[in-house]
Structure 1
Amino acid sequence: MHQLPIFLNLTGRTVVLVGEGEAAEAKARLIQRAGGRIISAWEAGATIAFVALGDEAAARAAADALRAHGLLVNVVDRPDLCDFTTPAIVDRAPVTIAIGTGGASAGLAKAIRQRLEALLPARLGDLAGALYAARAAMKARWPVAADRRRAIDAALAPGGALDPLDAGAADRVGEWLAAAAPDRPSRLETIRLTSADPDELTLRAARLLGEADHVFHPPHIPAAILARTRADAARHIAAAPPRESPPGLSLWLEMQVIAL
């Protein structure tokens, strides 16, 4: 990962936009959609800055001047001058999906965005709102955080009661809460790795790594593979799989030796 993806709350904040023309107008629309207030030159309290100037020397000078005031600066179409880049956006408010390439190819980011636009239901934001409204009810139903997370993960899984790709999922949150929660006993799965390259993980292995509550592994398992596990999954360095696995889904990772 070459950049840290963040979502910045610009509502009521001041943003400097230097430039004019189509590129500047596009940035202005983006800032306004996010609730920012646009000014054309630095003033105290400004949050970030955009520079949309055709002349490279002028763009560099403007960026340097704004950066001297402590602002992070985006220079349109000049990634080498940028402190941050703006992604292609799929907007299903409050769900926002950002696709960035670090300035390498805006066209690639746009192509991925178009694919996701076709895939994601227009009412995906309604599902997020319904889940937010149901937070108190979910905590009452599953007081233990781990149980609550497992129930939500199961509901949001492909084909689950609240599958995000199902346009009607938002209407079923109440029904899902009222239904009997299925038992989810302790379960241990083994993943035999044939490569240190995470891009060579099977679909099953990638899915299990994203779902696991606990990951048991010997110390030589590559860090790039472990990085594909859920961020809040507990990791355990061990010489062998556990005799008794903890509640939820546990994984045992091992490198498979391939005979030549």
Structure 2
Amino acid sequence: MGEAKKRLIERAGGIPCGEAEAHHAKLAFIALEDERAAKAAAMRLSRKGLLVNVADRPDLCEFTTPSILDRDPVLIAIGTSGASAGLSKQIRLRLEKLLPQTLGDLAAKLAASRDAMRARFPDGAQRRNALDAALAEGGTLDPLDPGSVDRVDDWLAAASDPEASQTVEIQLTSDDPEDLTLKQARLLGTADLLLHDPAVPTEILDRARADALRRELPYSGEPVCGLTIILRAAG
């Protein structure tokens, strides 16, 4: 297990060293079979100012390492806060089957096309909405389609202007975010402005984009270009 941790650090660009050089380090990984020895090492290195990870002993850990799915530059980390490394691994293996090897190439192509996208869609909200539509399930640039990377240039050349603004009202049926329909969850995830009743629970509001504007109803501010969601509380 110590060898596995060493490979993880080297892969991330870190430089492994022994305890004698701990004063140069920020993180400590401990892989010892003996519980008393592992606990003593954790206390010793923690006192030196290092954050400590102890293999197979989550109660001694000050941080945990997730299971990493690497589609460089796309990285997906699956963690369970130390509850079960095996569960993290099995989730990653399932995702490995779903996400094509070309996903990283698609990300790199989109990065290289940033200036072209700005020229095609000068307005930020329009640009975001056009990209959201292209990357959606079944869209021209669906991330789960291995051929999407080859369609970026054609999409930019042929993409039509998205609607400048759109307003959708959602009437909730319950306070449980799991009761949102797939369409409602998708709309919340793409909204630029979220207008909501004060009674709408935070758990549902948090399904919206982190950078979306949130305002309680009634709202008399300036309209926002893009997608506006009016969210009514259940009942």
Q: How does the TM-score come out when normalised to structure 1?
A: 0.83
Return 137-146 or 207-216, whichever deviates more. Answer: 137-146
Instruction: In structure 1, list runs of 5 or more residues that go unmatched.
Output: 1-22
| Counterpart check, 1:37 vs 2:15 | yes
Judge conservation of contact 1:187–1:245 (CA < 8 Å) in 2: no
Q: 1:157 aligns with which of 132, 136, 139?
A: 136
Q: 1:194 aligns with which of 147, 163, 173?
A: 173
Judge conservation of contact 1:121–1:165 (CA < 8 Å) in 2: yes
Indicate the residue corresponding to 1:247 in structure 2.
225
Q: 1:123 aligns with which of 88, 99, 102?
A: 102
Q: Answer 1 or 2: which has greater helix percent.
A: 2
Whole-angstrom distance in 1 between the partners of 2:73 and 2:128: 20
The one-letter code matched in structure 1 to 2:135 is: L
Whole-angstrom distance in 2 between the partners of 1:165 and 1:129: 15
What is the deviation of 1:102? 0.7
Indicate the residue corresponding to 2:67 in structure 1.
88
Q: Which residues of 2 match residues 159-238 of structure 1 at below 5 A?
A: 159-238=138-217
Q: 1:70 aligns with which of 42, 49, 52?
A: 49
Corresponding residue SS for 1:54: coil
TM-align CA RMSD: 1.9
Q: Report how many residues are paired.
A: 234
Whole-angstrom distance in 2 between the partners of 1:244 and 1:58: 63
Instruction: In structure 2, list runs of 5 or more residues that go unmatched.
Output: none
Q: What CA deviation, in whole Å up to 9, does each residue of 1:57-113 have, x standing for no partner?
A: 211221122222222111111111112111112111111111111111222212211
Corresponding residue SS for 2:203: helix
Sequence identity of aligned pairs in percent?
57
Q: Cα 1:81–1:106, aligned 2, differ >3 Å: closer, same or farther?
A: same
| Counterpart check, 1:106 vs 2:85 | yes
What is the deviation of 1:117? 0.8
Return 177-186 or 27-36, whichever deviates more. Answer: 177-186
The one-letter code matched in structure 2 to 1:31 is: I
Q: Which residues of 2 match residues 15-34 of structure 1 at below 5 A?
A: 23-34=1-12
Whole-angstrom distance in 1 between the partners of 2:140 and 2:103: 14
Whole-angstrom distance in 1 between the partners of 2:24 and 2:131: 40
Q: What CA deviation, in whole Å up to 9, does each residue of 1:130-156 have, x standing for no partner?
A: 111112222232233222222221211
What is the deviation of 1:181? 2.8
| Counterpart check, 1:145 vs 2:124 | yes
